[in-house]
Structure 1
Amino acid sequence: MTVDEMIDGIIEREAGFVDHPSDPGGATRWGITQRVARKNGYHGDMRTLPQETAREIYKREYVAKPGFLGIAEIDPFVAEEVIDSGVNAGQFRAAKWFQQALNVLNRRGRDYADIAVDGEIGPRTLGAFKALRQRRGEAKARQLMLKTLNGLQFMHYYKLADGGTKFEDFFVGWIDHRVGAL
Structure 2
Amino acid sequence: MDISTLIDEVIAREGGYSDHPADRGGATHFGITQAVARANGYAGHMKALPRAAAETIYRQLYWESPGYDMIAQIAPSVAAEMFDTGVNMGTPTATGFLQRALNALNRNQKDYPDLKADRVVGAKTLAALRSFLALRGKPGEVVLLKALEALQGERYLALAESRPANEAFLYGWLANRIG
Please say whether Structure 1 and Structure 2 have the same fold, judged by a TM-score greater than 0.5: yes
Q: Compute the displacement of 1:61 (Å).
A: 0.6
Cα pair distance change 1:172/1:127, threshold 3 Å: same
Q: 2-side partners of 1:99 and 1:4: how far apart?
A: 25
Relative to structure 1, the CA distance from residue 163 to residue 33 in structure 2 (aligned partners, 3 Å threshold; closer, same or farther) is closer
Q: Distance in 2 between matches of 1:73 and 1:127?
A: 12
Q: SS in structure 2 opposite 1:17?
A: coil
Q: For residue 89 of structure 1, what is the aligned residue in structure 2?
A: 89
The aligned counterpart of 2:144 is 145
TM-score of the pair, normalised by structure 1:
0.95
Question: Which residue of structure 2 aligns with residue 166 of structure 1?
Answer: 165
* Aligned position for 1:154: 153
TM-score normalised by the chain length of structure 2:
0.97
Conserved 8 A contact 1:86-1:94: yes
Unmatched tracts of structure 2, length 5 or more: none
RMSD: 1.0
Instruction: Specify the alignment match of 2:70 in structure 1.
Output: 70
> How many residues are treated as equivalent by the alignment?
179
Determine which structure has the larger helix proportion and give its number.
2
Tell me how far 1:157 sits from its aligned partner.
0.5
Residue 55 of structure 2: aligned partner? 55
Instruction: State the Cα distance separating 1:62 from its structure 2 match.
Output: 0.6
**Alpha-carbon shift at residue 73 of structure 1 (Å):** 1.3
Q: Does the 8 Å contact 1:3/1:72 carry over to 2?
A: no
1:13 matched residue in structure 2 = 13
2:153 counterpart of 1:136: no
Deviations 1:64-104 (A, max 9, x none): 11111111111111111111001001111011011111111
Report the residue type matching 1:162 in the other structure: E
One-letter amino acid matched to 1:73: Q
Distance 1:96 1:63 in 2: 15
Conservation of the 8 A alpha-carbon contact between 1:71 and 1:126? yes
**Any unmatched runs of 5+ in structure 1?**
none
Deviation at 1:7, TM superposition (A): 1.2
Separation in structure 2 between the aligned mates of residue 116 and residue 4 of structure 1, nearest angstrom: 31
Deviation at 1:163, TM superposition (A): 5.9
- SS of corresponding position for 2:164: coil
SS of corresponding position for 2:98: helix
TM-aligned CA deviation for residue 148 of structure 1? 0.2
Q: Which residue of 2 aligns with 1:176?
A: 175
8 Å contact 1:106–1:132 — kept in the other structure? yes
Alpha-carbon distance in 2 for matches of 1:86, 1:154: 14
